[in-house]
Amino acid sequence: MIHPPSLRPGDTVAVISPAGPVIPDLLMQGVQTLESWGLKVRLHEETFARHQPGGYLAGSDAARLKALREVFWDPDVAAVICSRGGYGAMRLLPDLLKVTHEHPGGAAAFGDFLRAHPKLLIGFSDITALHLYIAGIVGVATLHGPVVKSFGLHTDDPFASLEHLRAALFGTRAAAGQLRFEGLRRVRAGEARAPVFGGNLTLVASLVGSPYCPNLNDKILFLEDVGEQDYRLDRLFTTLRLAEKSARPAGIILGDFSGCGGVYIDDDRIDEFVGSLAEEFQCPVVADFPTGHRSRNVCVPVGCVATLDAADGTVIFEADAAAPPEPASIA
């Protein structure tokens, strides 16, 4: 796994919309927060596009792919943060394989270029499609964490999701010991040590077994979702469980499943219900990890190795997505 360089004050981060459209006013608080961290924010010109018919995509597939290509190719951009999730990132994956970068030595495929010039990708929800491909297939670690539109949700977050993101971007989180998560609820006992992949359950289930999803056998799988009613959650977990050739995880980490009750299972029983579905994988399972679609969304380093101990209720990552900052040179 390749770890992109961590950021430094003065670096430029690009904001793009590879999935759903975003309203400009909803981005401003997030942009101001990033600037307060000493970063320069570049809003790609296609960030606020809206594609018709339907209006649920942030521009055409070709336009969103072009924006993705441009910010990753741009040597002045140190990291790429998604404006929001929504839907649409998975539509880009087939053509992303065909993207090449022309340079004096010839042409490089997207994956080869990114491995040679790695930079962080940050986002969650529908951006899971890009995490699975970039971290799982290309082999460059990513950060599953807040999108710019959601920064306002975390103002009073007791789990300090934005502080986690800031420390992860600047490469200081692991050094501060913030990659040890305790107090998780044991669902099924056991231990596992493996790379961590996953994100939004719906996206993982939609892509499992495709060329754009890594083989999840013997990996630790972290999952969250929102607004998927109880029986649909069963369908999604069952889809993964039936994908026996590519989804036999070594362990499972469950985040928040917000707004998923209401048909047969009440909201106050949904966590127990989700736990029972995860138990069917016959591997160690912990729940209540602080990530999801609500106020707590602590960023997860995708592709990085962690140890899950269900008996102790702990998940400990061995490294963060970004490489630690280089020591200051001595004059």
246 in active site: no
* The one catalytic residue among 83, 125, 150, 295: 125
In the annotation, is 293 catalytic? yes
pLDDT digit string (tens) for 87-119? Answer: 999 999 999 888 777 666 666 788 999 999 999
Tens digit of each residue's pLDDT (9 = 90 or more) over 244-295:
888 899 999 999 999 998 889 999 999 999 999 999 999 999 999 999 998 8
Q: Which of 124, 142, 125 is nearest to 133 (CA)?
A: 142
Give pLDDT, residue 329.
36
Superfamily for domain range 180-317: LD-carboxypeptidase A C-terminal domain-like (3.50.30.60)
From the list 3, 131, 144, 293, the catalytic residue is 293
Give pLDDT tens digits along the chain (331 positions). 999 999 999 999 999 999 999 988 889 999 999 999 999 999 998 898 888 888 999 999 999 999 999 999 999 999 999 999 999 999 999 998 887 776 666 667 889 999 999 999 999 999 999 999 999 999 999 999 999 999 988 887 888 999 999 999 999 998 877 899 999 999 999 999 999 999 999 999 999 999 999 999 999 999 999 999 999 999 999 999 999 888 899 999 999 999 998 889 999 999 999 999 999 999 999 999 999 998 899 999 999 999 999 999 999 999 999 999 987 533 3
What would the two tokens of residue 287 be?
């729940």
The pTM assigned to this predicted structure is 0.94
Q: Catalytic residue among 3, 17, 150, 224, which? A: 224
- Looking at the chain, the domain(s) classified CATH 3.40.50.10740 span 12-169
Q: Residues spanned by CATH 3.50.30.60 within the chain?
A: 180-317
Instruction: Give catalytic status of residue 224 as yes or no.
Output: yes
- Which CATH superfamily is 12-169 part of? Murein tetrapeptidase LD-carboxypeptidase, N-terminal domain (3.40.50.10740)
Q: What is the DSSP string of 78-103?
A: EEEEES--SS-GGGGHHHHTT-EEEE
Quick one: DSSP state of residue 256?
Answer: E
